[in-house]
């Protein structure tokens, strides 16, 4: 399978982020907890240097809890503040305010020494498409907070959301494009649905997922679909088609339909909480 991306979008998004980054104290970087490395754009380290950094393992409800904790330790060891969140349900949101203050304590201290008191921390949310940036902003901001409108010194049109007296959030998140140089990254992003399915061969992708699940989570497919997990991934897919009555005219098995069904079950957590990348492979 071969993945490609479109550089035009990338240049524009990067320019927007470079402009905005000057205005902010804290970069809140969202990763997908199922594939924290593949969903991370390495350019953010260059872009966010000299800024306080917070990593959020979003969609943690879809990833294995034990692995979420292992990934938290992994990023903490690299000096990041880390919180695992479920933006859709609001899980993990309570602790974020405290973590933000802690991550920005050097800036707050610097301000204090210069006699600047109570200047709110300004934060920007960044991440690859579909990682949950908008859902997160809505969840964190809730109904209670109002937009603060334009401010002097801020590029016209930028809106800030006042979360409380301590934190302001830029309401437009920074979009980073994933890096596809490594085909494994492309595959991981395809698993979680971050690459348009029309660009992919559904059966090939499903076969790759089956291969992974058989190794990392043996028994999951057998239990969900009542199939035998054989070495041959395409054979497994045929069994899923059979067990789910995916049939073409003439009773031929519709393995494409089965592939789409499998991917949908995986992406929506119906196969359980499954992680596709493990910290020990990235030490």
| Residue numbers at the binding site for ligand G4P (CB under 6 A) | 58-59, 61-62, 86-88, 127, 129-135
State the Cα–Cα distance between residues 115 and 127, nearest whole angstrom: 34
Q: Between 41 and 86, whose beta carbon lies closer to ligand G4P?
A: 86
Smaller CB separation from ligand G4P, 30 or 104: 30
**Least distance CB 197 / ligand G4P (angstroms):** 13
Least Å from the CB of residue 50 to ligand G4P = 25
Minimum CB–partner distance for residue 86 and ligand G4P (Å): 4
Nearest distance in Å: CB 102, ligand G4P: 22
Shortest distance, position 76 Cβ to ligand G4P, whole Å: 20
122 neighbors 23 (Cβ within 8 angstroms): yes
Q: Which is nearer to ligand G4P, 86 or 239 (CB)?
A: 86
Give the residue nearest to ligand G4P (CB).
Answer: 132
Three-class SS string for the chain? Answer: CCCCCCHHHHHHHHHHHHHHHCCCCEEEEEEECCCCCCCCCCHHHHHCCCCEEEEEEECHHHCCHHHHHHHHHHHHHCCCEEEECECCCCECHHHHHHHHHHHCHHHHHHHHHCCCCCCCEEEEEEECCCCCHHHHHHHHHCCCCCECCCCCCCCCCCCEEECCCCEEEECCCEECCCCCCCHHHHHHHHHCCCCCHHHCCHHHHHHHHHHHHHHHCCCHHHHHHCCCCCCCHHHHHHHHHHHCCCECHHHCECHHHHHHHHHHHHHCCCCCCCCCCCHHHHC
The nearest distance, CB 173 to ligand G4P, in angstroms, is 6
Q: Based on CB atoms, which residue is closest to ligand G4P, 120 or 129? A: 129
Considering the complex, what minimum distance in angstroms separates the CB of residue 135 from ligand G4P?
3
Of 13 and 222, nearer to ligand G4P (C-beta) is: 13
- Cross-strand bridge partners of residue 20: none
- Which residue lies nearer to ligand G4P by CB, 123 or 241? 123
Q: Which is nearer to ligand G4P, 60 or 255 (CB)?
A: 60
């Amino acid at each position: 399978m071969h993945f490609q991306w479109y550089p035009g979008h990338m240049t524009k998004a990067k320019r927007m982020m470079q402009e905005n980054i000057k205005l902010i104290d804290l970069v809140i970087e969202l990763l997908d907890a199922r594939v924290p490395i593949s969903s991370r754009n390495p350019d953010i380290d260059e872009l966010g240097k000299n800024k306080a950094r917070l990593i959020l393992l979003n969609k943690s409800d879809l990833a294995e809890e034990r692995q979420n904790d292992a990934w938290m330790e992994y990023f903490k060891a690299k000096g990041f503040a880390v919180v695992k969140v479920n933006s859709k349900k609001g899980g993990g949101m309570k602790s974020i305010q405290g973590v933000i203050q802690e991550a920005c304590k050097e800036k707050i201290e610097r301000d204090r020494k210069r006699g600047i008191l109570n200047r709110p921390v300004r934060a920007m949310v960044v991440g690859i498409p579909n990682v949950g940036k908008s859902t997160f902003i809505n969840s964190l901001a809730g109904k209670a907070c109002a937009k603060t409108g334009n401010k002097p010194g801020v590029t016209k049109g930028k809106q800030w959301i006042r979360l409380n007296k301590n934190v302001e959030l830029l309401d437009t998140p920074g979009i980073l494009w994933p890096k596809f140089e490594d085909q494994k990254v492309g595959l991981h992003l395809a698993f979680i649905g971050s690459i348009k399915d029309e660009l992919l061969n559904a059966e090939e992708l499903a076969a790759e997922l089956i291969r992974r699940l058989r190794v990392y989570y043996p028994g999951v497919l057998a239990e969900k679909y009542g199939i035998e997990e054989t070495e041959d991934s395409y054979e497994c897919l045929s069994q899923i088609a059979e067990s789910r009555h995916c049939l073409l005219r003439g009773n031929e098995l519709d393995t494409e339909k089965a592939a789409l069904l499998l991917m949908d079950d995986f992406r929506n957590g119906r196969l359980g909480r499954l992680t596709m990348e493990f910290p020990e492979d990235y030490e």
